[in-house]
Amino acid sequence: MNAPFQPDGVTTLKLDSGLTLITQPAHSAPVVAFQVWIHAGGFDELDGERGLAHLHEHMLFKGTPTRGVGEIAAAVEAAGGFINAWTSHDQTCYHVVMPAHAWKTGLDVLSDAVCHSLFDGDELEREIEVVVEEIKRAEDSPGRVAWRTMAEKIFAGHPYALPVLGTIDSVRGMTSDRMKAFWGKHYVAANTTVVAAGDLDPAEVAREVAARFSDYGSAPAQAKPAAKPPKPAASATVKASAFSETRAMLAFPAPDLAHPDVPALDVFALVLGQGESARLPRVLRRELQLVNDVGASCYTPRYAGVFTLSATTDADRVEAAFDACLVELGKALAEGVTAEELAKARNLILAEATYKRETVQGLANSVGYFAVACGDAAAEQRYFDAVASVTRDDVLRVARKWLQPAHAQVVVLLGKEAEGRDDLPDEAAWLAKVQPALARAVATGAPKARDVVDGIERIALPSGDLLLVRRDGGDVPVMSLRVATLAGLRTETAANNGHGRMLAELLTRGTASRTGDQIAHAAEAMATDLSGFAGRNSIGLSLHSLTRNADAGLDLLFDCLTGATLPEAEIEVARKSQLQDLRHASDAPARTAFRAALSELYGDHPYALDTLGTEQSVQGLDRDQLLALLRGRLAPGADAAGRPRLIWAAAGDVDADRLAARIAEACPAVPDALDVPVRRDAGFPADKRVLRLSADKAQAHVVLAFPGTRLDHPDRFALAVLSTVLSGQGGRLFLQLRDKQSLAYTVTSMSSEGVDAGHFAFYIGTSPDKVDTALAGLYDQIDQLVQRPITAEELDRARQLLAGGHAIGLQSSGARAATLCFNELYGLPRSTWGTWLDSMLAVSADDVHQAAQRYLTVGRHVEAVLAPE
């Protein structure tokens, strides 16, 4: 068993101040990540401080003696970088990703925020309201409500049982004095680890970090008790909810991250419930069709963990689904895992570590997490070494040790459809199922022509299709491939709406030579990701593989592309899943508001449709329709006009000649397939359309949608700058509506182009009583953009942020393959890869002003508000 790819040069240095510095050079891309890990989170809060650690995450962006409100994020974005933070029970992490030439700017801003934040009282009052909105958003999420309920049981009496966000009452009770006291106690050098990864010189980084943190807190780190929660007695909790879905969870206490049993438990969780070929998805979702989603996980933070089985279904099937979960868990605990399952699980865990190292932020996060949680940067490699050497006996022994019925916690979150029913088990009956179910186990052709532009080989295939290859993997042995055709929503009608989404799901669910389970098993055994995709403009297949498994992965992809049979049984599974997704869409109110706005904006154009379809259209889809889409659109060859129907694109550690020869042999042209669909823009509204929708949610969701432009139109660059001026932590919407008025946790804008004309939209999630104020604020920002050009500073920040985001976003081979594929498929100029940056940097303030005047026409747009009655 091979260990994950491990770059050279990882060093850990204890500075004179007591601060720990970890550097990890990686020179495959001109990008650098810095992460400042504070060894304090929700665990460290005292009574009366619940949510205080998370509130620090927000307030450290609210100003220092040298940078005002909004200037911290603005400085990073102006240099083309991204800055953000997150809080857990054990840590608070502040991080930036920067273009390599601007890494000192990112470090300077990050260290300034950590070392010198002001905690201004007025800003605190405003930011508290932002966090309140974040808490309300969590209350509207069925997954987070179920998890919180389970954590209260499994971690009873321990800080892990409490929400990291705090409660509305506890957060509103915070003061500047409390903030400063917590900061002075925990934000000190001895309690801080800085991780730097990417295109850097470790010695230079060490000098700069020492200088930037020279006046940082020098107090000793707070002593922490070895606080492990007591194992709870078995119990069950049943809660009613207003959500459309029903969830069932079965949880057991698990060890902390540093415990030697964790690798075996992670393997057991993967065999049970991660991936299409895992036991629970295969049996409960595909064979028995009892769930919409099911899985298993092992969450192991610093002090104690939890092993969880979770199923999403409906009230009619929840009891049968829970019983089936217990049957599969009992079998695994009685018989253990097979040698094949063990090999697959180890391969997947180790491959994930390799894939994560494609980005510098992935590098920094992985080593930082292990270093802070375990106290040693080498803990990461020890974990992977243990995974590589774990045996079947280890997995069985450890699973039986930890998954004891005496400590089982059952949580059932009933959807609104269960209201008034008396045929479902009560809490005692749910719990009574566990002991008997687990008792036994506990007791016992070659290419025709090619050219090279900007390092991209363009290879005309014998079929008439086109292959693009960019061999740019550096030292990472990973390759990615995309094959796509123009289709998606653009080729759908109200009658067949959703057929692209369903076909994408079915592409890997059975061929003439393999069943869907065999395909899933073969892919996962190689740690290869093979999946179908479909969106507004295209449909296709993607492959992400370790280089050593690329040939075998290609065999699977070719079989799915040319030999998919779309079995009736699989169609019914996909239909049920898609219908469940549609029914649960009401649990995502922001999505509901957007869908309503875009449906009104696009009118009779296919972009008005939902990629999921409607209940009526999905119920009406049949095998003949899906086969017609497959054989008519996703078919190799050129159309009657000589245009390639399929675009293939590969990036990473890939051999262009071998790949071209393999495609030519496996994918000959298919006669009589459909022509490539032509462009048709929507007939956008000529007046203002106002929609008011009601939903029983804590927040209101506001969307303003305007006609937009096409992917190949030059205005897309100005609109991208315009959206960036508005959005992000340094953008106008964030500063004016969140920072200054505390109207929202989430407020943003977006420019969404398509092969046909797309849209430009604004969104804010706010309290129902603040809707009118939020709308007025959005319209005021629009009016300012139409009336006056943006400032030079705003222009520079936006251009640099977009340029930096472009480089950061293209770190993984999968992202590069997708970009190559879609640039070509959507008709962008051949020079786009090489000229994108120049085109973006050439945007002027006048260009942005003209774009705002051209596209943000109030009176020719849609205003949608979804709010409680």
Strand partners, 689: 862
pLDDT band at 226 (very low <50, low <70, confident <90, very high): low
Give the tokens for residue 640.
């009657």
The distance from CA 853 to its chain's CA centroid, rounded to whole angstroms, is: 34
Give me the pLDDT at residue 446, please: 41
Helix-helix angle 568-584:499-506, to 10 degrees: 130
Show Cβ contacts of residue 91 under 8 Å, excluding neighbours closer than 6 positions: 37, 38, 39, 40, 41, 369, 372, 373
Distances (CA, A) of 670 to 71, 458, 534, 554, 628: 57, 21, 21, 19, 13
Give me the pLDDT at residue 765, please: 96
Give me the pLDDT at residue 445, please: 42
pLDDT: which is higher, 758 or 28: 758
Q: What is the 3-state secondary structure (H, E, C) of 310-343?
A: EEEECCCCHHHHHHHHHHHHHHHHHHCCCHHHHH
The distance from CA 213 to its chain's CA centroid, rounded to whole angstroms, is: 32
Q: Is 2 a residue whose pLDDT tops 60?
A: no
% of the chain surpassing 70 pLDDT: 97
pLDDT digits (tens, 9 = 90+) for 60-112: 999 999 999 889 998 998 999 999 999 999 999 999 999 999 999 999 999 99
Distances (CA, A) of 176 to 119, 182, 285, 647, 711: 6, 10, 51, 57, 48
Query: Cα(456)–Cα(469) distance, rounded to whole angstroms?
Result: 6
Identify the DSSP state of 188: B
Tell me which residue of 821, 817, 809 sits closest to 537, measured CA to CA: 821
Identify the DSSP state of 70: T
Mean predicted confidence (pLDDT) in 386-412: 92
Distances (CA, A) of 437 to 251, 270, 433, 674: 15, 21, 6, 54
Give me the pLDDT at residue 408, please: 94
Q: Is 1 a residue whose pLDDT tops 50?
A: no
Tell me which residue of 92, 115, 84 sits closest to 44, measured CA to CA: 92
| Beta strands in 711-846, from DSSP E residues, in sequence order | 744-752, 759-766
Give me the pLDDT at residue 357, please: 85
Give me the pLDDT at residue 529, please: 96
Query: Cα(178)–Cα(584) distance, rounded to whole angstroms?
Result: 41
pLDDT digits (tens, 9 = 90+) for 642-700: 789 999 999 999 999 899 999 998 999 887 777 777 778 888 999 999 999 999 899 99
Give me the pLDDT at residue 441, please: 59
% of the chain surpassing 90 pLDDT: 80
Q: Is 300 a residue whose pLDDT tops 60?
A: yes
The radius of gyration of the chain from alpha carbons, rounded to an integer in Å, stands at: 27
Query: Cα(810)–Cα(833) distance, rounded to whole angstroms?
Result: 11
Give me the pLDDT at residue 444, please: 47
- SS3 of 856, please? coil
pLDDT band at 4 (very low <50, low <70, confident <90, very high): very low
pLDDT digits (tens, 9 = 90+) for 229-250: 888 999 999 999 999 999 999 9
Helical (H) or strand (E) element with 396: helix 392-402
Cβ neighbours around 14 below 10 Å, total:
11
Instruction: For the sheet with 11-14, list strands across it.
Output: 11-14, 20-25, 192-198, 31-38, 92-99, 82-87
pTM: 0.87
Give the tokens for residue 274.
């991660």
Give me the pLDDT at residue 829, please: 84
pLDDT band at 440 (very low <50, low <70, confident <90, very high): low
Identify the DSSP state of 564: B
pLDDT digits (tens, 9 = 90+) for 709-745: 999 999 999 999 999 999 988 899 999 999 899 999 9
pLDDT digits (tens, 9 = 90+) for 92-104: 999 999 999 999 9
CA 188-193-199 angle, to 5 degrees, is 135
SS3 content of the chain, % helix, strand, coil (to 5): 50, 20, 35
Give me the pLDDT at residue 618, please: 96
pLDDT digits (tens, 9 = 90+) for 465-482: 999 999 986 678 999 999
pLDDT digits (tens, 9 = 90+) for 612-643: 999 999 999 999 999 999 998 999 998 777 78
Give me the pLDDT at residue 229, please: 82
What amino acid occupies position 23? T
Contact 205, 196 (CB under 8 A): yes
What amino acid occupies position 671? P
Mean pLDDT of the chain: 92
